[in-house]
Structure 1
């Protein structure tokens, strides 16, 4: 039997079918997808390495994107049937070597923070750099009903898109993935099966400016608080809480029983708000980092 072969590619777009199948297999085996939504929507922007068996079958895949000007970010998956053979380490070491030769910091996501991923990251000398929490709550009208007062909140219309993108940019200026959402990225999401303008709720100021929004995502599997953004200029006025109540009340009216959301573990104000609304830990994603070595 021949050894598995590594091959590099400049764009993962041509591998879209294989990436989708591998992602689905990982979700079935692990309870978490190996590649996040942003990756799946922009495969053309991902380079990487594929590991294939003697019959050309995909054993593992490393997808890489440039994160800012000084880092490479990795998402890695090994087919459930090919695990325990060192394939994950081989792919990770190839990624680290490429990042080091380019003089870039290497970052890698472990979706689910399972012990194998944690053990591999620690063995490779990586450090935990970012924690992404998945929180969940059971919808309860006594907690999640729509309170009186607060800003006017109505459903999205396309004539407000530029305002929504600007609020998003300002609210997530510190968040490279979400803060970089542009018109093309937004429109790509509107082509997804889960999109509904009725589930993108906008909050308005007294002079009819968009000052925040709550974007809900509902799939066959779950209802999600997809994005909550408030213009920093209006922070501290209860806009975020009002938007949360409006969105959760909307989901309750649609007869959903449970809702999830993702939030950075160090976003203390947001975590405090969500926990006050009954959200509890359901899942953890960790981003690991290996610093660049400069000669």
Structure 2
């Protein structure tokens, strides 16, 4: 039976549950989630384009188009059907994510004339053993995030730290509030570096349902570069994750971010997997 696809303006609760179940099954198969946190938090919004692929009544594929950025979940046949539907309404600037090297999305994109334009490495390290002690600069203190008080200051530092980052740098209060509403959100593991009451950097940690810790976001205000806040905040967060019982930590870093890659490798992280963003090659 051929797959049917449908563009829907918004997903109702039962359909969102179907998408979550599909994503969980794909993660169990491929070893990596097919959809990013950003895509998952947008399942209920009408501000993105939702495309469903079904085999009869069974949901076998899902696509989310946010501007020109597309994420896909499904097997190869579902990915082909979803791409057909999305390409019919998109321009040449469409960019598509494949999450993890085992994802079928990359092979489908390659066969359709897409090329990789960005690589996001997933690094990991075990948290057994001791972590180095890294002192903070004079006058700098590190504390945990306080919901309802620190949002605007954090958004300003995040925007400055990731001014050239296509996704992270454009976070809004709504994006932050959506993460704070997630079951995994833990303000105690969201560390802020300050001096004289001014936020200079942060390390936001996350603990996955399987117990793996994550360096969710690590950012330093450009005005504070040179204070070595990155290593200090990184170690503070890793120490927290280890204390919460995490045996391993993961993080994502862009292929072209040599400074961050060097920092992570010095602190024991190694390459584990990679996400790729693809764009159709010019004919």
Establish whether TM, by shorter chain, passes 0.5: yes
Q: For the residues of structure 2 that align with 1:19 and 1:292, how far apart are their CA atoms?
A: 33
2:80 pairs, out of 78, 81, 89, with: 89
Number of residue pairs matched by the alignment:
276
Q: Secondary structure at the match of 1:24?
A: helix
Which residue of 2 is the match for residue 69 of structure 1? Answer: none
1:290 and 2:280 aligned: yes
1:57 and 2:73 aligned: no
Q: Which runs of 5+ in 2 are unaligned?
A: none
> Structure 1 residues 145, 249: CA separation in 2 closer, same or farther (over 3 Å shift)?
farther
Summarize deviations over 1:180-233 as a string: whole Å, max 9, x none.
22222212211212112110111112x221100111111331111111010011
1:216 and 2:217 aligned: no
Q: For the residues of structure 2 that align with 1:231 and 1:181, how far apart are their CA atoms?
A: 15
1:109 pairs, out of 97, 104, 110, with: 97
Which residue of 2 is the match for residue 11 of structure 1? Answer: 10
> Structure 1 residues 160, 60: CA separation in 2 closer, same or farther (over 3 Å shift)?
closer
Summarize deviations over 1:125-161 as a string: whole Å, max 9, x none.
111011111111112553x243334331111123222
> Structure 1 residues 203, 115: CA separation in 2 closer, same or farther (over 3 Å shift)?
closer
Q: Which runs of 5+ in 1 are unaligned?
A: 67-71
| 1:268 positional shift | 0.9
Which residue of 2 is the match for residue 126 of structure 1? Answer: 114
Which residue of 1 is the match for residue 223 of structure 2? Answer: 233
> Structure 1 residues 53, 133: CA separation in 2 closer, same or farther (over 3 Å shift)?
same
Higher helix share: 1
In the TM superposition, what are the counterparts of 1:263-282 in structure 2 within 5 Å?
263-282=253-272
Q: For the residues of structure 2 that align with 1:136 and 1:46, how far apart are their CA atoms?
A: 32
Which residue of 2 is the match for residue 74 of structure 1? Answer: 70
> Structure 1 residues 157, 59: CA separation in 2 closer, same or farther (over 3 Å shift)?
closer
Which residue of 1 is the match for residue 48 of structure 2? Answer: 46
In the TM superposition, what are the counterparts of 1:145-294 in structure 2 within 5 Å?
145-150=132-137, 151-158=140-147, 159-205=149-195, 207-221=196-210, 222-290=212-280
> Structure 1 residues 94, 232: CA separation in 2 closer, same or farther (over 3 Å shift)?
same
Q: For the residues of structure 1 that align with 2:86 and 2:226, how far apart are their CA atoms?
A: 43
CA RMSD of aligned residues (A): 2.0
Q: For the residues of structure 2 that align with 1:149 and 1:119, how far apart are their CA atoms?
A: 46
| 1:97 positional shift | 2.6
> Structure 1 residues 266, 3: CA separation in 2 closer, same or farther (over 3 Å shift)?
same
| 1:266 positional shift | 1.1
Q: For the residues of structure 1 that align with 2:128 and 2:135, how far apart are their CA atoms?
A: 17
Q: For the residues of structure 1 that align with 2:103 and 2:229, how far apart are their CA atoms?
A: 39
Q: For the residues of structure 2 that align with 1:230 and 1:188, how far apart are their CA atoms?
A: 22
Q: For the residues of structure 1 that align with 2:208 and 2:107, how far apart are their CA atoms?
A: 33
Q: Secondary structure at the match of 2:121?
A: strand
